[in-house]
């Protein structure tokens, strides 16, 4: 069990241990999480990591930054999309705290990583780098704003499913929408 503090991809953050860190995570289960998300995603990801006897890597993607370039050793340099937006460093702290609360007594080897940019592409590239066995993500709470965003950008799970070969487990969050209720309104 560990709570790795390395944060490749966030400028000014500690540099990951490169190849050694990736080797420890080889074949891991990835849990893509956002601050304030239900712990169900982490619990399901931990369940499958145990079944697969694999480490678990909890990832948070900072969408307020984009990748500027990547060093040959794998360290990712990034820049903010908009200088007026507050950095999402606090989001990583929330994700790390949630992961610790759910996983500290799990007996799993686990770590937390922050990626940057488009969530689907960032998770895909990270999964390729560590040869992940499974990617676990959650749905978002439905609402008009979220429905419009997903209409234009696509859900992260759907975009992941079309961009790589790994299995993706989508964990529903909250109550399912009844069959006779429209998904687009709420």
Structural domains in the chain (count): 1
Domain hosting residue 29, numbered range = 19-171
**Contact at 8 Å (CB) between 2 and 109?**
yes
For 117, which DSSP code?
A: S
CATH number, domain at 151? 3.40.50.620
- Answer whether residue 3 is part of any domain: no
In a domain, 182, yes or no: no
Asked if residue 148 belongs to a domain, the reply is yes
Residues 6+ positions from 123 with CB-CB distance below 8 Å: 30, 32, 59, 61, 115, 135, 137, 156, 160
Q: Give domain status of residue 137, yes or no.
A: yes
> Over its length of 186 residues, how does the chain's per-residue pLDDT go in tens digits?
444 434 333 333 333 456 667 678 889 999 999 888 889 999 999 999 999 999 999 999 888 766 665 666 666 555 555 555 555 567 888 999 999 999 999 999 999 998 888 888 899 999 999 999 999 998 765 554 444 344 434 577 777 877 788 899 888 876 666 778 776 554
Flag whether 27 is in a domain. Answer: yes
């Amino acid at each position: 069990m560990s709570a790795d503090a390395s944060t490749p991809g966030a400028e000014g953050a500690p540099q990951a241990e490169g190849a050694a860190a990736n080797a420890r995570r080889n074949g891991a289960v990835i849990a893509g999480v956002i601050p304030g998300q239900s712990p169900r995603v982490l619990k399901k990801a931990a369940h499958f990591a145990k079944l697969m006897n694999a480490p678990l890597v909890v990832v948070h993607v900072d969408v307020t930054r984009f990748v500027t370039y990547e060093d040959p050793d794998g360290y990712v340099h990034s820049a903010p999309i908009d200088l007026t937006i507050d950095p999402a460093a606090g989001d990583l702290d929330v994700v790390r705290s949630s992961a610790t609360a759910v996983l500290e007594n799990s007996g799993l080897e686990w770590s937390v990583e922050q990626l940057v940019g488009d969530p689907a592409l960032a998770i895909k590239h990270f999964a390729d780098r560590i040869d992940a066995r499974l990617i676990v993500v959650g749905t978002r709470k439905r609402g008009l704003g979220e429905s419009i965003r997903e209409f234009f950008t696509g859900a992260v799970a759907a975009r992941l499913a079309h961009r790589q070969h790994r299995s993706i487990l989508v964990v529903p969050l909250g109550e399912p929408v009844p069959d006779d209720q429209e998904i687009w309104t709420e």
